[in-house]
Amino acid sequence: MTQAPTDLSHIAPRDQAEILAQALPYIRKFHGKTLVIKYGGNAMTDPALQQDFAEDIVLLKLVGMNPIVVHGGGPQIDSALARIGKKGTFIQGMRVTDEETMDVVEWVLGGEVQQDIVGLINAVGGKAVGLTGRDGAMIRARKLKLMDKDDPTKEHDIGQVGEIVSIDPSVVKALQDDAFIPVISPIGFGENNESYNINADLVASKLAEVLKAEKLMLLTNIRGVLDKAGNLLTDLTARRIDELVADGTISGGMLPKIAGALDAAKSGVNAVHIVDGRVPHAMLLEILSDQAYGTMIRSH
């Protein structure tokens, strides 16, 4: 079901034109550029925000940018596991993925969640295509060795959780060139054709690096990176991030997000943004205005 367009009758036509004109420099600047967007959090589960997200993606494509969506699906995986009487377990923010859990992850991410996103984008006039890391031999992976954060000699076995060996983006480039919007599930494959569940933030970050993307945007459930007093840090450098990790300000589930973002910034992605996905049209506001709706990360 598509929503009716937002009523803008309270905004004078001249003001509407002014708003559009202000977006022009940004449209010109990012025309033809690749944007990798990690889609997760409330933006992914709230119907009104889902609609906003789909509209934003289609608008960016229509004005000449190349958005690529990488999605997570933690809550959806948890509810699917609950339906079969299994409870998700986590070690240091990473999901323990045995063989049965991996089967669930594949059908939830590569099926249900991915096709929902493809459908949302297509319903508002885009042409989205769903992929997993198997398609076009895109994401080669190996078993992740998770060392204990307190005892570096101890290794945790978290099952079929993968780390990326390499990404071949040729299938993504072919789709982009053909006016399609790729929607990617973070599932990789190993040398014996086994499947691996990979952190979606890391897939988005690595893909942004390989594609030399203009921007990497991580939609999340928080305002961005906050200091100990709860204030938003709108601009972070590599050195400042190291300090925040060392003093425990950045911890838990934020660690892989930040690590991937920092790698991308150091590897040539011009700007990495951790964006509050609970703000309607946060992505458009971040790209087409100079307002900060989250944290921007720079390599230096």
Residue ranges at the known binding site = 73-74, 95, 197
Neighbours of 299 (CB within 10 A): 15
Residue 34: closest CA among 68, 69, 58, 63:
68
Neighbours of 294 (CB within 10 A): 26
Can you tell me the distance from the alpha carbon of 105 to that of 80, in angstroms, rounded to the nearest whole number? 9
Q: CB-side exposure of 176: number of CA atoms within 13 Å?
A: 20
Specify whether the CB–CB gap between 293 and 281 falls below 8 A: no
Residue given tokens 């925040």 in the structure block: 244
Residues in Cβ contact with 55 at an 8 Å cutoff, skipping those fewer than 6 apart? 124, 281
Binding residues for substrate: 73-74, 95, 197
Strand pairing class (34-39; 66-71) = parallel
Coil, strand or helix: which one is 128? strand
Straight-line distance from the first to the last Cα atom of the chain, in angstroms, rounded to the nearest whole number: 45
Residue given tokens 């004078």 in the structure block: 12
Specify whether the CB–CB gap between 43 and 49 falls below 8 A: yes
Residues in Cβ contact with 46 at an 8 Å cutoff, skipping those fewer than 6 apart? 278
* Both tokens assigned to 210: 């390989």
